[in-house]
Amino acid sequence: MRAFRGEPSVYGDAQPAKRQAELKIEGLTLIFGGLMALNNVDLDVRNGEFLSIVGPNGAGKTSLLNSITGFYRPQKGRIIFNGEDIKGLRPHEVTKRGIGRTFQNIELFPGMSVLANIFLARHLYCNYRLAPASLFLPSIQKEEVRHRKIVEEIIDFLEMQPIRKRLVGSLPYGIRKRVELGRALALEPKLLILDEPFAGMTLEEKEEMVRFLREINRRWMQTTILVEHDMAVVMSISERIVVFNFGEKIAEGPPEVIKNHPEVIKAYLGEEA
Amino acid sequence: MRLRLRPCGNYKESYKEELPIFETDFGRISSLIGLILLFFVIPFVFGSYNLYVLNHVAIYAIAAVGLNILTGFTGQLSLGHGAFFGVGAYTASILMTRLHVPFLPSIFAGGVSTALVGLVFGIPSSRLKHLYLTISTLAGQLILEYIFINWESLTCGASGIILPKSTIFGFDLQTDRSFFYVIFIFFVIFLWIAKNIVRTKYGRAFIAIRDNDQAAEGMGIPIFRYKLISFAISSFYAGFAGALWATYVASISPEPFTFGLSIEFIAMIIIGGLGSITGSVFGATFITLLNEALSQGIGYLMNLKAFTGMVTIAPFREFIFGLVIVLFLIFEPKGLAEVWRIVKSSFKLWPFSY
């Protein structure tokens, strides 16, 4: 169904070739001191797919995301994104190659408005240098207006118009998660990584969020990785689910398969007596 | 065209209309009137002493704006800006006395050389954060102070440098009034540039680094590069102000560029308001006027019969200075910029209270 509301132009005219995202992880191992956070992990993310990663606390889900986005430096293995090994790149270089993310414990900029937070993420696409910027030349003004328009489209799409000038620090938790999603979308990521975007939300907020995520994935073919504890959400939204436990991948498959996978049941409920 | 002095709603029809610095025509007109007063009335009404104080206000304001970009916007506290001010002053003086470089190129060279020095002292910011970085900038201050005093072949050490007469486009800059024009033209230009920097992607990146550097990096901002840019811009402002100051007072020695001056700059931006360009100007005005008033007052008291022989009254100046900063931190931590905002909005609402 076509909804009559904001459709970000950066997504709307869907240029599939430009938004191609293929991630291949091979033998990734991450060790903190004596703790093996990730043990020889292999993972494939296909273009246009909605992949969920689940697992008990401490299973290594966030460690995996942080390794992909460059915040952690894994000791072994390869992370191939669109044919390039991105392991060991700094986070901002990973972002530049088209991987955008949200954080587990909301990492917004509390002193900035919703608008400014999302605007910041357009940084990669602001093509100007310091000298003309310091004189605020007409070309700069044009560029600023162009990005403002894109930011407004994202605000429109996520239905945040009434709060665009509010400081993020003053917003309720569930809305902040939505601002964070907006900020990640403003990066125009080829691969969108969401770290527990549903945590601490009310039921209504979860339903809204599911609606947004489905739309960006189904209509605009946004390749997405979701890490989430809410099983109801994960089961209903994912095309494929990967289950982690103690730093290892224990199962992989579509929701129906995962639901009845013996290893998964063991990891979550313990062994049968 | 109809003026919208006090619009009672949002009448904007394009995103472009959201770009200007002043939101209302009232703001634009009053600042225009302010500029006219500044350039066409004040220099002719005020006496030499008052102009001298005003010139100092503007010079310190330029430096304070620079420090505010680094500390208030980017969140990197610098204890070295007193020395950076000195680097600009020395560069300009040495160029003018030894190489006979004219006034304008010298002061710009003062700014540029200080920007380079600032870049060097900004390098530790790739690894160090918060207090640790602050201490490394303190090291910068002490190293530069040492150089000012001990590299005698270059800086003439403690005896200092006497500068030649400054000229600009053939005009002699000798009176306070002629310097007033030079200083305030640069003051207005640099204020405008600072405002532009903070409202484009650079300013957004600076604030993001201040608020949450990890997230900033996750949003594609090369934080080390932006910290260096901030250091460079900030020290350029400090150095330029220092160069202006040196040419204005026409003689320099290592004495003024001490740690105490660094602290005064920090006091200016705290009292004015961290993260506010106009606030830095308020802070610089306040501190400079306070300094002037205190030294005048103390001088007067010391000459009174009752106090003669009591040298102990001199530290009173530092005491009041500290007291004012503490009071500000307690009663208006957001600084004079916030006071100004409150005053403006209560005028707007008058006679109602909200």
* CATH number of residue A210's parent domain: 3.40.50.300
Instruction: Kindly tell me if the per-residue pLDDT of B233 is higher than 90.
Output: yes
**Structural domains in chain A (count):** 1
Residues of B in contact with A112 (CB under 8 A): 204, 207-208, 211
Q: Which two tokens stand for residue B205?
A: 């990146």
A49-63, A154-168, B155-169: least confident range:
B155-169
At residue B228 the predicted structure's pLDDT band, cuts being 50, 70 and 90, is very high
- Across the interface, of A111, A140, A145, the residue whose CB is closest to B15 is A145
What is the predicted pLDDT for the residue at B301?
76
Pairing mode, if any, of strands A99-101 and A191-195? Answer: parallel
Q: Global pTM? A: 0.89
Is residue A4 domain-resident? no
B176 Rama class: left (phi>0) / alpha (psi -120 to 50) / beta: alpha
- Distance in angstroms (rounded) separating the CA atoms of residues A219 and A1: 10
Is residue A143 domain-resident? yes
Kindly provide the ipTM of the predicted complex, given to two decimals.
0.88
Q: How many CB atoms lie within 10 A of CB A61?
A: 26
Instruction: Kindly tell me if the per-residue pLDDT of B3 is higher than 80.
Output: no
CB contact under 8 A, B204 and A136: no
Q: Best mutation site among A66, A120, A145 for testing chain B: the one with the most B CBs within 10 Å? A: A120
Is residue A1 domain-resident? no
CA-based nearest distance A268→chain B, Å? 32
Cα end-to-end span (Å), chain A? 49
Instruction: Kindly tell me if the per-residue pLDDT of B73 is higher than 80.
Output: yes
- Do residues B69 and B206 lie in contact, with contact meaning Cβ atoms separated by under 8 Å? yes
**Cβ neighbours for A53, distance < 8 A, ≥ 6 positions apart:** A61, A64, A65, A225, A226, A227, A241, A242, A243, A244
At residue B19 the predicted structure's pLDDT band, cuts being 50, 70 and 90, is confident
- Do residues A118 and A58 lie in contact, with contact meaning Cβ atoms separated by under 8 Å? no
DSSP-based helix, strand, coil % in chain A, nearest 5: 40, 20, 35
A contact set with B (CB within 8 A): 69, 71, 90-92, 95-96, 101, 103, 107-112, 116, 119-124, 126, 128, 130, 133-136, 140-141, 144-145, 148-149, 152, 183, 187
At residue B195 the predicted structure's pLDDT band, cuts being 50, 70 and 90, is very high
CB contact under 8 A, A109 and B207: yes
Instruction: Kindly tell me if the per-residue pLDDT of B310 is higher than 60.
Output: no
What is the predicted pLDDT for the residue at A218?
85
Averaged pLDDT for residues A97-111:
88
Instruction: Kindly tell me if the per-residue pLDDT of B314 is higher than 70.
Output: no
**Cβ neighbours for B223, distance < 8 A, ≥ 6 positions apart:** A92, B209, B213, B216, B217
Task: State whether CATH 1.10.3470 applies to domain B46-349.
Answer: yes
Residue-wise pLDDT for A111-128, tens only, equals 889 999 999 999 988 888
Residues of B in contact with A91 (CB under 8 A): 214, 217-218
Range of the domain at A110: 9-269
> For residue B221, what is the nearest residue in chain A, using CA coordinates?
A92
Averaged pLDDT for residues B236-241:
96
**Residue B18 near chain A (CB below 8 Å):** yes
Pure H helices in B37-123: 42-45, 48-68, 81-98, 103-122
What is the predicted pLDDT for the residue at A1?
40
- Say which DSSP state B174 is in: -
Instruction: Kindly tell me if the per-residue pLDDT of A106 is higher than 70.
Output: yes
Is residue A2 domain-resident? no
**Hunting for tokens 């494939």 — which residue is that?**
A44
Q: Which of B143, B147, B127, B142 is nearest to B76 (CA)?
A: B127
What is the predicted pLDDT for the residue at A272?
63
- Across the interface, of A136, A152, A187, the residue whose CB is closest to B219 is A187
Residue-wise pLDDT for B151-170, tens only, equals 888 888 778 888 877 777 77
- Distance in angstroms (rounded) separating the CA atoms of residues A40 and B119: 42
Peptide bond before residue B351 is cis, with ω within 30 degrees of 0: yes
Domain boundaries, chain B: 46-349
Helix (H, G, I), strand (E, B) or coil at B239: helix
- Distance in angstroms (rounded) separating the CA atoms of residues A86 and A17: 20
Averaged pLDDT for residues B75-95:
93
> For residue A121, what is the nearest residue in chain B, using CA coordinates?
B219
What is the predicted pLDDT for the residue at A2?
47
Cα end-to-end span (Å), chain B? 31
CA-based nearest distance A157→chain B, Å? 18
Averaged pLDDT for residues B302-314:
64
